[in-house]
Amino acid sequence: MSELVPLLALADFFPRGILPYLIGGLLVGLGAATIYLSTGIIAGASTFLESTLSYVSDVPRFNRFKYVQSRGWRLVFTAGIVSGAAVYVLVSGEGMWTTDVQWWRLLFGGFLVGVGTRLGKGCTSGHGVCGVGSLSNTSFVNVATFLAVAIGTAQLVQALGVSP
Amino acid sequence: MSSESRSPWFLPIIYVGGLIFGFGLAISGMAKPEVVLDFLQFEDFGLLFVMGGAAIVTGIVFAIATRSDRTAPLTGSSYVRRVKEFDRNVVVGGSIFGVGWGLSGICPGAAYASVGIGNLPILWAIGGMFLGAYAQGYWRSRQADSDAAVAPSD
């Protein structure tokens, strides 16, 4: 029985197990690596926001050459992400799924994510996966910052009794 | 990398890469805000394996590719690392992103994947992200008046 104790402690930290997270992470890396090895492009998910805005806005910032030039393939990349998740729903049999997190948290949180990733030059995939994979000090600082602030924010929201 | 020099396989391979990326986000649960919030509230540390696993794969691939003098087959681009210049915005932007991520449990790639798992309420978050990206782009274009001389493309 005593050898079960560390396993139980581990299960406390990982109530859904480790495998889906690890497989998912390896596939996220594999997706980025597929694009990188064939095209040399380091694909982050958040530049899609700015480059797509160039279709509908004449604000100069969105119409810089690098955004206008990349907006086509960024749409295709995002369509790939959406379909990849849809394929997962089809093959896993888990079915469609919707969140219970309240709409105002999604909207205001999303707004801040939009401001923050663009100001901070990247998001969880750009800095967190590709930047960290590049051993970039800028990305390490960005990831440490957003992780610490996000943990503080989520704990505060929870302490205020906002749920879900 | 001009569009003329692109292989016809360019867009298909981008799509396939996105497909694997999105499948990974879905299987990891990161496309669900609840799973991200559980991580940030110290109730489930599984997300460490998502970011860690992904960064280890890209880290190995980047390390090997940048050591070779080959170029990418579909574009002829050389392999470089993702190293962005550090400035104050990296910390300020990271902090704002952190508040948003902690409030909503959603980041850009995971939000797109969430659409694919049928999560329509996530459109609130995606709408918010576009508004936020627009607000900062508008504000920074105003800040840099000299850039306003650049003609929009369409």
Residues contacting A103, CB < 8 A, separation 6+: B121, B124
3 state DSSP class of B71:
strand
**Above 80 in pLDDT, residue B149?**
no
* Tens-digit pLDDT profile for residues B13-38: 999 999 999 999 999 999 999 999 99
| Axis crossing angle, helix A19-39 with helix B47-67, rounded to the nearest 10 | 30
CA distance B126 to chain A (A): 6
Which is higher by pLDDT, B149 or B40? B40
Asked if residues A108 and B33 have their Cβ atoms less than 8 Å apart, the reply is no
What number of residues does chain B have? 154
Distance CA B111, CA A124 (A): 12
As a whole number, mean pLDDT of residues B71-100 equals 96
Best interface-test mutation with B: which of A13, A81, A151 has the largest number of B CBs within 10 A? A81
pLDDT the model gives residue A7: 65
CB contact under 8 A, B59 and A35: no
Task: Tell me the three-class secondary structure of B4-31, residue by residue.
Answer: HHCCCCHHHHHHHHHHHHHHHHHHHCCC
| Contact: A129, B129; criterion CB under 8 Å | no
pLDDT of residue B145: 64
Residues of A in contact with B17 (CB under 8 A): 31-32, 34-35, 38, 43, 77, 80
pLDDT at residue A10 in the model = 75
Q: Is the pLDDT of residue B3 over 60?
A: no
Contact B23 A37 (CB under 8 A): no
Per residue, what are the HEC states of B100-153? HHHHHCCCHHHHHHHHHCCCCCHHHHHHHHHHHHHHHHHHHHHHCHHHHHCCCC
Of B62, B103, B130, the CB nearest to A157: B103
* Locus of tokens 């001009």: B2
Say yes or no for a CB contact (<8 Å) between A31 and B84.
no
| SS3 assignment, position B54 | helix
Do the Cβ atoms of A137 and B85 come closer than 8 Å? no
- pLDDT-derived band at B1 (thresholds 50, 70, 90) equals very low
What is the pLDDT, as a whole number, of residue B150? Answer: 53
Low-confidence ranges of chain A (pLDDT < 50): none
Spatial separation of the C-alpha atoms in residues B60 and B55, rounded to whole Å: 8
